[in-house]
Structure 1
Amino acid sequence: MLVADITRTSQAVAGTSGRKAKVSALAECLRAAEPGEAASVVAYLSGELPQRQIGVGYASLRDVPPPAAQPSLTVPEVDAAFTEIGAVSGPGSVARRRELLAGLLGRATPTEQDFLIRLLAGELRQGALDGVMAEAIAAASEVPSAEVRRAFMLRGTLGPVATAALAGGTGALREFTLEVGRPIKPMLAASAPSIEEAFGKLDAEAAVEWKLDGIRAQVHVVDGEVRVFTRTLDEITSRLPEVVAAVRELPVRAAVFDGELIALRPDGHPHPFQVTAARTATRAAKNTEPVPLSVYLFDVLYLEDGAGGGDLLDAPGAERGAALVRVVPEELRMPRVVTGDPGRAKEVFDEAVAQGHEGVVVKSLDSPYTAGRRGAGWIKVKPRYTLDLVVLAVEWGHGRRQGMLSNLHLGARDPETGGFVMLGKTFKGLTDELLAWQTEKLRELAVREDGWTVHVRPELVVEIAFDGVQHSPRYPGGIALRFARVLRYRTDKSAAEADTIETVRSVAPVMD
């Protein structure tokens, strides 16, 4: 397949706001792809690289060679070039990457160059998000969407799912199973502003669990070997020996647990999130004694123990909860109360907040584990309005913040367009340490600068607290956050997991 075909599809998808039209255009492109190209086609049209990172920064994209007159560049050639660029290392690697990139872009037409540059810069936003792409794969391969979604949940990425669906249909998709040792996409929680509203949505007895301000972790165990993965499916086992030691002692032959890891003070209150996050960072701080993480498991997705077992993904929440209690001691389980009384649930909420935690998650006892989707089965309740938003740009500071990137432009995800809707700016809540960190990080993500504003790749997720939402003609979405302030950066989340504009309108009433 020519890259020109993908470019045309990208333009068609970006040019329509209708979900059906997007799905149709994507499906047509996928049908035309060769079996070995499907994974790359899905990645490129989703605005991603199969290789994830290849070491190409904004500076490398400034000097673009003259374009080709006619399209000839193929998908396999681009994929091979990206792989070669990503493999370059050692002395002279920067120059060599630029040389290889120039060779690739020199074979591309003007529209292909624009597509590839935006792809590499993380600016290819056209509305081909996971849900839309999953539907397109289903349409192109003529299989039920539910089969594609489940395979995606189990495999964690859509590329291999597309390859299987297009080559073997439903039968090939059903070969994707939960494998101990391979992480799956985690189940996510919807939001509600109060305990009463959460219970009203479930309309039944429910489990009420503490919501911790920690790191989501999926823990896999096979015959005493423990592996720990983040919510983004990255393995962090080697960084967490105390977690491995705690889980290794559980009476299981094989298991997959879902849980939270958090650094606690001697009084049981949590350390700041940055302390917890530092334990899972790629580069740990030098000359500092690591703070141990406590383990709180709240779900089990697979279990083999003395009572038998197997895959529990489709089991109701009550059954999974009972299995967890059977093999995990209380000190390693998330505090949990099963009740149908909102008053008792409010007591659990107050206990969690008093202990310094975020709130609670109200969980259906009937719901299966629907990984990767914010369904109605889990509903989080926090004591304040908070959102996970994406940094779109940042302004240089002045006064004591001279020379630092300070005032953040905040955006919510728009599922219809694949872009982001700006909701306002804030420089509040930033400590000196956080200010220095974001200045370094946002410089790395910069794509262009005009005057006081540095525009960045929309990758960095920040948790924002605010007092409400108000109408505002200044922003495209017509609304803005009131008294927004930074709580923390969510380096454990991708921009695709940021809150949507619909969520913004639902979590807080819009005031005049």
Structure 2
Amino acid sequence: MLLAEIVRTLDGVTATRSRLAKVDLLADLLTRLRPEEIAPAVGMLVAAPRQGRLGIGWRTLSGVEATHADSATLEVADVDAAFDELASAGGSGSAAARLAVLTRLAERATASEWDLLQRVIFGELRTGALEGVLLDAIARASSTEGPVVRRAAMLSGDLRETARLALTEGPDALAAVGLEVGRPVLPMLASTASTVEEAIGVSGPASVEYKLDGARIQVHKHGDEVGVYTRTLADITRRVPELVEIVRTLPAADVILDGETLALDEDDAPRPFQDTMARFGAERASEIALRPWFFDILHLDGRDLLDEPLSVRRAVLESVVGEWMMPGTVTDDPQVAAAVSVEALAAGHEGVVVKGLDAPYAAGRRGASWIKVKPVLTYDLVVLGVEWGSGRRQGWLSNLHLGARDPLGEFGEPGGFVMVGKTFKGLTDETLRWQTEHFLALETGRSRGAVTVTPTTVVEIAIDGVQRSPRYPGGVALRFARVKGYRPDKPAAEADTITALRDLLPGISR
């Protein structure tokens, strides 16, 4: 299959809001793939190459100088072979070798194909071809029931292999996929509610557990062999030896656990989220130790627990992990649940997760069985620049560059603004049209893909918090920022300050 067909399909997926239309487009593409093309093509659809990380940074990619092809001749197999070369390049001369591979690939690709390949390499498609939509497309293309496809994807943790099995071997092969110790599965996800009372009203009797500002982990133990995986199923075992040693002491020969980990300070208070993530990014352990909290169990000594209700899984979990169990309370009383939330916040955590006691472990899905409740922080910030959108947002100014006021000039000119992050989330089509016209009228200059503007527009931004960042002069960056609305009633001189944001991060140097 030509790569151009994937480009056309993704353009169609991006152009429509209809989930059914997206499924139809993707299913049609899947049915036309040769067996050996299925895994590579699905990897491109979700920006997750079959080879995993390709070792390509922005500096390398920006160094590619090539004249693109005028017509489409590049095939899926050609791209897959090039990705093999990129993934295997290592040692002395590897940077030059990767650049040579990328240059040859860029020369064979049309401009639109090269745009897609760059986004696949960086994992940033933003096309609307989400995994849930693709699972439905796999089911349609293979004439398989959706739940069978979703369960196989859940248990294998591999959408590419799920598609290959569905399209080449059929429903029986998918049904045969089982839970295996040592093979990570997609994690169960939580929806959100604004209050604990609202969450309890949906869940009924529930386990109300702390929501930590840490990192999700899935742990597999087979004898003395232990594997630790992230929420994206990346293997980080060698980076977290303290977690491995704790799991080895648990009274189980074979076990799969779901949990969270974070670093604690000398007072046993949670360190900033960035400290935990820094450990995940390190190639070896550091002096910052991680502590696990386990909140679910999927398998124990030959017994699969996925389909058991949470009430059963909690009892089994407690017998295995003991002191390493996530704090929480079983209740159907909104006042008791609210008290747990207050307790969690007082301990420095994000909030709570309310989990229905009757619910099975629905891996890979976000539903009403788990509901997280976290306080929402909002700040009035100033737009410093805007990036042009891509895909469905082509032609609109989309990604906002956000700044906080710096009244004393601690990080620049007195009365100026300090950039603290970007966001394109929360923008409707109507808002995109408005802000494109609005900010073009305020344009003061252009750089690659972005427009700088007069810093006079205030926008209300919801965030989950901040983290330390050497990228920005103020030393902090927004976490999970999304637009709540513009504030035409508020002058930029009344925007929130960089000090207010820095105060959210305990221990940051003043």
Which residue of 2 is the match for residue 275 of structure 1? 275
CA distance in 1, matches of 2:236, 2:338: 35
**2:307 counterpart letter in structure 1:** D
Please give the secondary structure, in 2, of the residue aligned with 1:228: strand
Q: Structure 1 unaligned runs (5+)?
A: 443-459, 475-480, 489-512
Q: Decide whether aligned partners of structure 1 residues 13 and 427 sit closer, same or farther in structure 2, where only a CA change above 3 A counts.
A: closer
**2:419 counterpart letter in structure 1:** S
CA distance in 2, matches of 1:406, 1:471: 18
Conservation of the 8 A alpha-carbon contact between 1:189 and 1:379: yes
> What's the CA shift for 1:358?
1.8
Conservation of the 8 A alpha-carbon contact between 2:378 and 2:462: no
**2:214 counterpart letter in structure 1:** G
Conservation of the 8 A alpha-carbon contact between 1:469 and 1:482: no
Correspondence 1:422-433 to 2 at 5 A: none
CA distance in 2, matches of 1:461, 1:430: 6
CA distance in 2, matches of 1:279, 1:69: 46
Which residue of 1 is the match for residue 365 of structure 2? 373
Of the three residues 318, 341, 354, the one matched with 1:349 is 341
Conservation of the 8 A alpha-carbon contact between 1:261 and 1:294: yes
Which residue of 2 is the match for residue 125 of structure 1? 126
Moved more, 181-190 or 276-285: 276-285
Q: Decide whether aligned partners of structure 1 residues 315 and 438 sit closer, same or farther in structure 2, where only a CA change above 3 A counts.
A: farther
**1:434 counterpart letter in structure 2:** R
Moved more, 62-71 or 355-364: 62-71
Which residue of 1 is the match for residue 44 of structure 2? 44
Conservation of the 8 A alpha-carbon contact between 1:47 and 1:119: yes
Please give the secondary structure, in 1, of the residue aligned with 2:421: strand
Moved more, 114-123 or 131-140: 114-123
Which residue of 2 is the match for residue 244 of structure 1? 244
Matched, 1:340 2:332: yes
**1:359 counterpart letter in structure 2:** G
Conservation of the 8 A alpha-carbon contact between 1:279 and 1:291: yes
4+ long deviations beyond 6 Å: 395-398, 413-416, 425-431, 439-442, 481-484
Q: Decide whether aligned partners of structure 1 residues 392 and 163 sit closer, same or farther in structure 2, where only a CA change above 3 A counts.
A: same
CA distance in 1, matches of 2:320, 2:225: 16
- Please give the per-residue CA displacement for 1:84-116, whole angstroms capped at 9, x wherever unaligned: 123223333333222222212222234433433
Which residue of 1 is the match for residue 423 of structure 2? 410
Q: Decide whether aligned partners of structure 1 residues 351 and 113 sit closer, same or farther in structure 2, where only a CA change above 3 A counts.
A: closer
Conservation of the 8 A alpha-carbon contact between 1:406 and 1:435: no
Moved more, 223-232 or 25-34: 223-232
Please give the secondary structure, in 2, of the residue aligned with 1:26: helix
Conservation of the 8 A alpha-carbon contact between 2:378 and 2:463: no
CA distance in 2, matches of 1:201, 1:430: 26
Which residue of 1 is the match for residue 106 of structure 2? 105
Correspondence 1:221-232 to 2 at 5 A: 221-232=221-232
- Please give the per-residue CA displacement for 1:52-75, whole angstroms capped at 9, x wherever unaligned: 332334443465423334432211
- Please give the per-residue CA displacement for 1:149-189, whole angstroms capped at 9, x wherever unaligned: 11121122311111000011111112221111111111111
Which residue of 2 is the match for residue 303 of structure 1? 300
Conservation of the 8 A alpha-carbon contact between 2:256 and 2:299: yes
> What's the CA shift for 1:400?
4.6
Q: Decide whether aligned partners of structure 1 residues 205 and 105 sit closer, same or farther in structure 2, where only a CA change above 3 A counts.
A: same
> What's the CA shift for 1:199?
0.9
CA distance in 1, matches of 2:291, 2:111: 53
Which residue of 2 is the match for residue 454 of structure 1? none
Which residue of 2 is the match for residue 218 of structure 1? 218
Higher relative contact order (CA 8 A, sep 6+): 1
Q: Decide whether aligned partners of structure 1 residues 46 and 427 sit closer, same or farther in structure 2, where only a CA change above 3 A counts.
A: closer
Report the TM-score, using the length of structure 1 for normalisation: 0.77
- Please give the per-residue CA displacement for 1:404-435, whole angstroms capped at 9, x wherever unaligned: 9834221327999xx9x99958799999x924
- Please give the per-residue CA displacement for 1:168-222, whole angstroms capped at 9, x wherever unaligned: 11111122211111111111111112111011112x2111112222222111111
- Please give the per-residue CA displacement for 1:262-298, whole angstroms capped at 9, x wherever unaligned: 223454322222333333222469xxx6133222211
> What's the CA shift for 1:131?
1.0
CA distance in 2, matches of 1:56, 1:279: 21
Conservation of the 8 A alpha-carbon contact between 1:127 and 1:415: no
**1:436 counterpart letter in structure 2:** P
Please give the secondary structure, in 1, of the residue aligned with 2:169: helix
Which residue of 1 is the match for residue 7 of structure 2? 7
Matched, 1:363 2:397: no
Which residue of 1 is the match for residue 88 of structure 2? 87
- Please give the per-residue CA displacement for 1:20-53, whole angstroms capped at 9, x wherever unaligned: 1111111111101001111111121223322333
Q: Tell me how large the CA RMSD over aligned residues is.
A: 3.8
- Please give the per-residue CA displacement for 1:4-31, whole angstroms capped at 9, x wherever unaligned: 2222222222222221111111111110
Please give the secondary structure, in 2, of the residue aligned with 1:328: helix
Of the three residues 289, 292, 297, the one matched with 1:292 is 289
**1:372 counterpart letter in structure 2:** G
Which residue of 2 is the match for residue 68 of structure 1? 69
> What's the CA shift for 1:393?
6.0
CA distance in 2, matches of 1:402, 1:427: 25
**1:191 counterpart letter in structure 2:** T
Q: Decide whether aligned partners of structure 1 residues 318 and 75 sit closer, same or farther in structure 2, where only a CA change above 3 A counts.
A: same
> What's the CA shift for 1:122?
4.5
Q: Decide whether aligned partners of structure 1 residues 221 and 69 sit closer, same or farther in structure 2, where only a CA change above 3 A counts.
A: same
Please give the secondary structure, in 2, of the residue aligned with 1:338: strand
Matched, 1:320 2:309: no
Please give the secondary structure, in 2, of the residue aligned with 1:179: coil
**1:374 counterpart letter in structure 2:** R
Please give the secondary structure, in 1, of the residue aligned with 2:155: helix
**2:352 counterpart letter in structure 1:** V
Of the three residues 416, 434, 437, the one matched with 2:468 is 434
Conservation of the 8 A alpha-carbon contact between 1:407 and 1:425: no
Identity of aligned residues (%): 42
Q: Decide whether aligned partners of structure 1 residues 266 and 439 sit closer, same or farther in structure 2, where only a CA change above 3 A counts.
A: closer
CA distance in 2, matches of 1:367, 1:295: 23
Conservation of the 8 A alpha-carbon contact between 2:421 and 2:478: no
**2:145 counterpart letter in structure 1:** P
Which residue of 1 is the match for residue 183 of structure 2? 182
- Please give the per-residue CA displacement for 1:293-326, whole angstroms capped at 9, x wherever unaligned: 222211110011xxxx511111111111111122
> What's the CA shift for 1:143?
0.6
